[in-house]
Amino acid sequence: MNKEIKDKIFQKIKESDRIIIARHFRPDGDAIGSSRGLERILKLTYPEKTIKLCNKDNSDFLAFLGSEDEEISDEFISSSLAIILDTATSERLSDPRALNAKYVIKIDHHIEVNKYGNLSWVEDYRSSCSELIADFYNTYKSELKIDKYAATCIYTGMNTDSGRFCFSSTTGETLRLAGLMLDYGVDIENLQANLDLREFKVYKFQADVFEKIKVTDSGLAYLYLDQEMQKKWNLTREEASDSVSLMSSIKGSIAWIAFIENPDKTIRVRLRSRFMTINQVAERYHGGGHDKASGATCYSHEEMESLIKDASEAVKIYKETHNDWI
């Protein structure tokens, strides 16, 4: 079945002279990696086609992979094939104009709660959308071209969205496809330096934020970063959001949440878990995502407190009904 869908996608690519590639807003490594990797593969393979990224925001954290500042006209979009990557719901598009394309293809690895577009290839068991792009290349590698840059982008997406290949979504096929990308010359040492190295201020911020982590009676860990604290440490959006990882190693806390206040006073929510699923909580608060890595939005502190209560209760129920947690 999926081979049939991939064949249809490949045929649409062959038929199209204009192609735009879109992703979700507030991009992570997978969104950037899959979109830039596919863009590069198609440009190498079809130099006669006009292929552009269609997004309205960038990621400072992933700037080493290149910028996305090209302007695209409404006319170009309406006459193009759109390939939308790593975007579960159309509301999360970085540039919603992508939906106005002549033909829309969705390629994603999130649980499908919002069907959109003319053709959809969704495999929610995959570790990343970048893994799907690697699979797509592998399926048609006798016809497609790739280089070190494209492989680096795709490997970056696979690496970051799988938790360095440690999340439960990592399979033997994930590692085989990652190995295929490595065969094209990915410089792992340089890549990991770009992903791992932090400004010294970040470590001082982490020392400060450890004092603010709270744990509920059931074992839910959470923290709240207001605008004042973000400004105090001059944090980028990515640096503030990455604070969720500071709680990942607390023994007995099988779910943890970072609440990050936005300039408009809405609250970005990053939910993570091990053993138990957490996406069902995110879906109640204007969000969703993977079963153990989700995002949401709270529009008030009362809503944030409600989310904490619901998540804590979910942790309690899981612990009472399972004995596989640590």
Q: What are phi and psi of 316, to 5 degrees?
A: -60, -50
Ordered by where they begin, the domains of the chain are 2-195 (3.90.1640.10), 200-321 (3.10.310.30)
Q: Which helix (H) or strand (E) holds 154?
A: helix 148-161
Condensed to tens digits (0 to 9), the pLDDT of residues 130-182 reads 999 999 999 999 999 999 999 999 999 999 999 999 998 999 999 999 999 99
List beta partners, residue 240: none
Closest CA to 37 of 173, 178, 192, 236: 178
- Stronger pLDDT, 302 or 92, i.e. the higher one: 302
CA 186/CA 89 separation, integer angstroms: 31
Condensed to tens digits (0 to 9), the pLDDT of residues 21-71 reads 999 998 999 999 999 999 999 999 999 999 999 999 988 889 999 888 678
CA 150/CA 171 separation, integer angstroms: 22
CA 9/CA 15 separation, integer angstroms: 10
Find the mean pLDDT for residues 212-233: 96
For residue 289, what are its two tokens?
């995502």
Q: Which segments within 70-166 are labelled E, that is strand?
A: 81-85, 103-108, 119-122
List beta partners, residue 223: 258
* pTM for the structure as a whole: 0.88
Q: What is the dihedral of CA 85, 87, 92, 93, to 10 degrees?
A: 20
Distance from first CA to last CA of the chain, Å, rounded?
39
Closest CA to 253 of 233, 266, 271: 271
CA 129/CA 107 separation, integer angstroms: 7
Contacts of residue 105, defined as CB under 8 A and 6 or more positions apart, other chains included, come to 9, 12, 81, 82, 83, 84, 117, 118, 119, 120, 121
For residue 242, what are its two tokens?
């990455």
What pLDDT score does 250 carry? 96
Condensed to tens digits (0 to 9), the pLDDT of residues 247-293 reads 999 999 999 999 999 999 999 999 999 999 999 999 999 988 888 99
pLDDT band for position 1 (cuts 50, 70, 90): low
What pLDDT score does 68 carry? 80
